[in-house]
Amino acid sequence: MIEKLAESKVQAISFFSGCGGLDIGTQMAGARIISTLDFEPATVETVKANEFFKFAEHNCADIRNVSGKDYSALLRSSNPDKLIIVGGPPCQPFSKAGYWITNEKRKAVDDERNMVGEYLRIIEEIRPDGFLLENVESILHPTNKAAVDYIEEKITRMGYHFVRILANALEYGIPQKRKRVLFLASKKPISGQPTKLAPEEVEKVSVLDWIGRFDKPELSENEESTEGKTYDYELSEIPPGHNYIALSARDNYPNPKFVANKRFWNFLLKLHPLQPSWTIAAQPGPWVGPFHWNNRRLRAQEVAAIQTFPMDYKFVGSRRIIQKQIGNAVPSLLGEKFVEHLIKFI
């Protein structure tokens, strides 16, 4: 597959590349990544460590210090027939954690953590044939209406047609309930969205099919054990597919340990092997799930598999840094589906 990419007439520049989840999907869709950019050194080292991106230059930089002119020489030498840009600008201003802020006080469009404007700026400077912008589901919350209006008006003013899609990764065969908003834009009219699985196929998606192969003693990690720690016993009492509420009066647990709805829903949350995973977090607390049904924390290989990274993909950094990289990534197969759809319209 990698050698076929060398001949691809569709090429891609990636921004906010992270550890490469979306970029893997972009190349799986047939577009050769010729450049990546991210602000975090560890993520740049991860992408560099993988032969999969041997055709790309990798830049560690702040997008605010980068302009379209910086890509002129690269584009002259690569000479793509078609060029796309892919990226998921940081989403902190649009997270659910900010819902308590009133509409009058919210400043998502102007928030210094909001790189959407910078992403659209560099797209306007480079003028690709099409682009993909990925963000969190909660950007569609009413408190973020100004941000969504800004994005859509800016895309239109730049002369692009677009579709906005709220996607649940599970509906595309990814073993994870993970909702994301994707804007697909092209200089040509664009419509529709990637084909979803039939409902009966979605019901068959199980996390066991993706991570079962990693449940071996020789693949264990020091960080996975909860033995002797605060809620080790409670975790062992929770049935697969449930959270702390299983140990509450609401679920008829004798001598209840917890009160229902008094904790975050993912507290002591445990995977069921025959069901999909919940969203993988980038920085989970010590007792935030999902946990493995065998009463342990998930291994890095398992977390990566749930995000549909290739089995041989290499990650650089400490266990905590690797978790952050994987949790922040776009599932690779989701990227593939949406970039494939975009390419049809450029």
CATH of the domain at 72: 3.40.50.150
Q: Is residue 279 situated within a structural domain?
A: no
The answer to whether residue 99 is domain-embedded is yes
Residue 99's pLDDT is what?
37
Please identify every residue annotated as catalytic: 91
Domain assignment present for 140 = yes
The pLDDT assigned to 104 comes to 45
Position 3 pLDDT exceeds 80: no
In a domain, 275, yes or no: no
Say yes or no to pLDDT of 107 above 60.
no
- Residue 152 pLDDT grade (very low, low, confident, very high; cuts 50, 70, 90): very high
Within a domain: 20 = yes
Q: Write the pLDDT tens digit of every residue in 294-336.
A: 999 999 999 999 999 999 999 999 999 999 999 999 999 999 9
| CB-facing half-sphere around the CA of 57: CA atoms within 13 A | 11
The one-letter amino acid at 104: E
**What is the tally of structural domains in the chain?**
1
Q: Provide mean pLDDT across the span 214-231.
A: 96
Query: Which range marks the domain in which residue 161 is found?
Result: 2-196+332-343
Is 247 inside any structural domain? Answer: no
pLDDT in tens, 24-64: 999 999 999 999 999 999 999 999 999 999 999 999 999 99
| 319 belongs to a structural domain | no
Residue with the bigger pLDDT between 4 and 142: it is 142
Whether 121 is in a domain gets the answer: yes
The pLDDT value recorded for residue 59 is 98
